[in-house]
Amino acid sequence: MKIAISGKGGVGKTTLAGALARYIADLKYKVLAIDADPDANLASAIGISKELLKGVKPISEMKELISERTGAKSGSFGGMFILNPKVDDLPEKFSIEYKGVKMMLLGVVESAGTGCFCPENTLLKALLRHLFVARDEVVIVDMEAGLEHLSRGTTAYVNKFIVVVEPGQRSFQTARQIRDLAKELNVKDVWIVGNKIKSEEDRDLIKKELSDFSILGFLSYNDKIIESDKLGISPYDLSDGLRKEIEEIWNNINNL
């Protein structure tokens, strides 16, 4: 099972990615969670402490590794480099594990614009392609809204492409924009998870405004998520209600 999760900033996609990873690991599946969001918070959503995360660098910042695998000279642009670098050993070398979930930080290519054709992006895309195509774990990728790291060769293996939305027009517009980007990558179906739901009216609004999307489930507005952030623990460990909603979403991922 390969799952990509996107949505506008602050909508709760990282909460979904982290809680889903923990739930699936509790079912005794092997799980690899990938943080591909510039605002990297997936570790805390999983429950990984700052101490455990200390010293872990995003792959995109490992200049020596990028140079070694692509053959590009560090700090140079426009030169020749390998387009299909070796990446199959990277998950074991650069992931950390907590409660049965392995996690990797991809990072972003900060020095380049959208569509960068550069060694950093080449390595990241090759790594994601390997994770989706060749690995036998459940892979969950917490994406940025721009989908910069994905490619046509990657998305063919995505089982569920999920956009998290909250009840609001800006969130709905972002979902439509992400679907347009996904279509360019030959993604046939984009699924919705509604978050921060306070009432039946919130559910109905999402169903009405995004009636041309398929919906996997809803996550209720939950003070425990705010509390967990203050305590520095995963909301999955604090909220029985969240775990039950994640269970329903996982069942729908497998059955819809």
> From the first residue on, what is the mean pLDDT of each consecutive set of 10 residues in the chain (256 residues)?
94 97 98 92 94 91 94 68 94 96 86 60 92 95 87 90 97 96 92 98 98 97 92 94 97 96
* Cβ-Cβ contacts under 8 Å for 176 (sequence gap 6 or more): none
In angstroms, rounded to a whole number, what is the distance separating the alpha carbons of residues 12 and 245?
14
- The pLDDT score that the predictor gives to residue 39 is 85
Q: What is the pLDDT of residue 151?
A: 86
CA distances to 158, 177, 202 from 128, rounded to whole Å, are: 11, 22, 35
Identify the CATH number of the domain in which residue 72 sits: 3.40.50.300
Helix intervals (H) in 200-239: 200-209, 223-231
Residue 142 β-bridge partners: 5, 35
pTM: 0.93
Task: Count up the domains in the chain and report the number.
Answer: 1
DSSP state, residue 73: P
Cross-strand partners of 190: 161
Residue 243 belongs to domain spanning? 2-255
Place of tokens 């390998």: 82
CA distance 107 to 62: 10
